[in-house]
Amino acid sequence: MNLFRNRLYFVLPLFAVSSAWGQVKSLTARQAVDYALQNSPTIKNAVIETEISKAKVMETTAAGLPQISGSLSVLHYPQGNDPTKPNTQKFVLENQRGTPFYDTSGTEGSPIAFGLQLANSLTGTLNATQLIFNGSYLVGLQASKTYKELTVKQLKQAKITLAEQVMKTYYLILVNQEKTRLLDLNLLRLDSTFKETQVLFKNGFVEKIDLDRIEVALNNLRSEKQKTTRLLVLATNGLKFQMGMPVKDSIELSENLNQVNPESILPADPTIDYNKRIEYSTLQTQKQLAALSLKNIKAGYLPSLVGLATLGVNSAASKFGNLSNFSEKNRYAPYGYIGLSLSVPVFDGFQKKFQAQQARLNINKLNNGFKQLENAIDLELNQANINLANANTSLEIQKRNLKLAEEVVRVSKVKYRQGVGSNLEVTNSESSLKESQSNYYSALYDFIISKIDLDKAQGTLIAE
């Protein structure tokens, strides 16, 4: 696999192998990113946001469809002491002197009140409205669709960020694994030298200080190996966390650092199509939303027209049971009407005027943001090219230094065995080799990171 193509396509299937301890996933860098894009909670939430935005579009659209509602009310007025006189709402009349008319037929006079309804009543209505014209509704439809586009772009931005993190951590682990392997080789080599020196010391050919010097170097190397191993475990758990993989699961990185081919990497063209950068595309969508916000404010000056339609029925009876006697057609009085409701804004105290002023200023801010972002992208691309060139130069130097250090170790050991070299020379050459190995793989990691940064600057880190 060539890691450094202009674009990464995450289409390779994931595979796993069984071990005696459970499931071990063996992944390339691209497969690790693909796994992360499918399982990361961050990406899952971003996908949910796109689904929410789709539902928002449908919600806004539904506001322009017919709205139908029905209602039914049944009223019963309990009877008082006199069954012939239910406690319905009544109206009292006054005489010329301003006092109520009294019924004096009883022992105590009572006001004369007139009831206008029976003890039981039923009212049913079916109402329908249809939005005919509303400027804010039309703008809202546009805004909801644009918001949906924004969430899709934000999802892609989240994927790019995650892919960058996973790839950098992946190669950091590979570099540390290689350093661990080299530490093991150095330990074997130095341990062999220590044992040889022990034999020479027993035979009186070297001094105690020579043996102690090698033992100190050996102990330091063992300590470094332990630290590197622990840090490798932490980095691997961090990668699984980024990928959305359970930390308790096992993972194996199947990439090989030897597959990196610096000679195949060329600097990027210093000019770039800004639209390839998701940040630029997202800013364009934000500007569209800001423009729609201004348009919505202006639409508030337009009238709103709604169509109305109502069907209803009224019924009343002195006995509650008679309400359900549908055979008495005259007992139910239907009614209905259709109409239009026009709402015209007249004066709002200049609220919309100042809202529009704020919206225009926000658009100006976004325009300034475009200029700043374009400049930032140019700078980032320029820096990525320079960093890649520097990393490549450093890698070549460290590669030559590593070969030289390996040769120095070989020669110093031959001289030491032949009695023409010193123990100190061997120890120093071993230390220089370890440093050269560390410098080489650090330079290699810097080169890989520089290439990832360059792909990101070009907007080609991932393609969908």
Q: What pLDDT shows up at residue 108?
A: 62
- Count CB atoms within 10 A of the CB of residue 452: 21
Q: In what order do the strands lie in the sheet containing 332-343?
A: 67-76, 120-133, 304-317, 332-343
Residues forming beta bridges with residue 115, ordered by sequence position: 90
Return the SS3 of 460.
coil
Shared-domain flag, residues 410 and 296: yes
Number of domains in the chain: 2
Same domain, 190 and 261: yes
Residues 26 and 109 in one domain: no
Is 450 a member of any domain? yes
Is residue 346 pLDDT above 90, yes or no? yes
- 261 and 378: one domain? yes
- My answer on whether 361 and 433 are in the same domain is yes
Please, which pLDDT band fits residue 261 given cuts at 50, 70 and 90? confident
Q: In angstroms, rounded to a whole number, what is the distance separating the alpha carbons of residues 438 and 183?
A: 10
Per-residue tokens: 169: 């951590």
- Domain residues for the domain of 183 are 16-39+134-302+350-458
Distance of CA 167 to the CA centre of its chain: 18
Q: Are residues 149 and 107 in the same domain?
A: no
Say whether pLDDT at 84 is over 70. Answer: no
338 occurs within a structural domain = no
Q: Which two tokens stand for residue 426?
A: 């061997």
Residue 182 has pLDDT above 90, yes or no: no
- Range 251-266 average pLDDT: 78
Two tokens, residue 389: 């060139």
Please state, as a whole number, how many other Cβ atoms lie within 10 Å of the Cβ of residue 214: 23
Which pLDDT does position 267 carry in this prediction?
67
Measured torsion, CA atoms of residues 413, 417, 420, 423, in degrees rounded to the nearest 10 = 60
Shared domain check, 361 and 443: yes
Contact 142, 292 (CB under 8 A): yes
Residues facing 120 on adjacent strands: 76, 317
The verdict on 105 and 234 lying in the same domain is: no
2 compared with 178, residue with greater pLDDT: 178
Higher pLDDT, 119 or 444: 444
Inside any domain, residue 157: yes
Rounded to whole angstroms, the Cα distance separating 89 from 116 reads 7
In a domain, 72, yes or no: no
Beta strand extents in 22-108 (DSSP E only): 22-27, 67-76, 90-92, 102-103
Q: Tell me, yes or no, whether 420 lies in a domain.
A: yes
Judge whether 115 and 275 are in contact, CB under 8 Å.
Answer: no
| Banded pLDDT at 322 (limits 50, 70, 90) | confident
The answer to whether residues 96 and 162 belong to one domain is no
Q: Kind and range of the H or E element at 97?
A: none
Domain assignment present for residue 155? The answer is yes
Same-domain status, 234 and 359: yes
- Of 243, 140, 226, 235, nearest to 183 by C-alpha is 226
Cα 162 from Cα 349, distance rounded (Å): 49
Distance (Å, whole) CA 149 – CA 53? 9
Residue 326 vs residue 62, higher pLDDT = 62
In this structure, what CATH number is given to the domain that contains residue 448?
1.20.1600.10
| Contact status, residue 242 vs residue 36, Cβ threshold 8 Å | yes
> Which of 36-50, 225-239, 251-265, 446-460 is the least confident region?
251-265
Q: Are 150 and 289 in contact (CB under 8 A)?
A: yes
For a pLDDT cut of 70, what percent of the chain falls above it? 90
193 and 282 housed in the same domain: yes
Place of tokens 């992946």: 170
Token pair in block for residue 25: 């996933």
Q: Is residue 254 part of a domain?
A: yes
Mean pLDDT of 419-423: 76
Tell me: do 229 and 152 sit in the same domain: yes
pLDDT for res 337? 93
Q: Which of 150-154, 181-185, 369-373 has the lowest mean pLDDT?
A: 181-185
pLDDT of residue 105: 64
Q: Which of 432, 308, 447, 305 is nearest to 384 (CA)?
A: 447
pLDDT above 50 (res 23)? yes
Q: Is 361 helix (H, G, I), strand (E, B) or coil?
A: helix
> What distance in Å separates the CA atoms of residue 267 and residue 385, rounded to the nearest whole number?
6
Q: What stretch of H or E contains 311?
A: strand 304-317
Got the DSSP string for 90-127? EEE-B-TTS-B-EE-SSSS-EE-EEE-S-SEEEEEEEE
Give the pairing type, strands 67-76 and 120-133: antiparallel
CB 440 within 8 A of CB 399: yes
pTM listed for this prediction: 0.79
CB atoms within 10 A of CB 44: 13
**Contact indicator for 86, 78 with CB cutoff of 8 Å:** yes
- Asked if residue 141 belongs to a domain, the reply is yes
Residue at which a domain ends, from 118, 149, 177? 118
Tokens of 57: 């579009």
Which range has the worst mean pLDDT, 5-14, 17-26, 88-97, 159-168? 5-14
Name every residue whose Cβ is closer than 8 Å to that of residue 360 and which is 6 or more positions away in sequence: 294
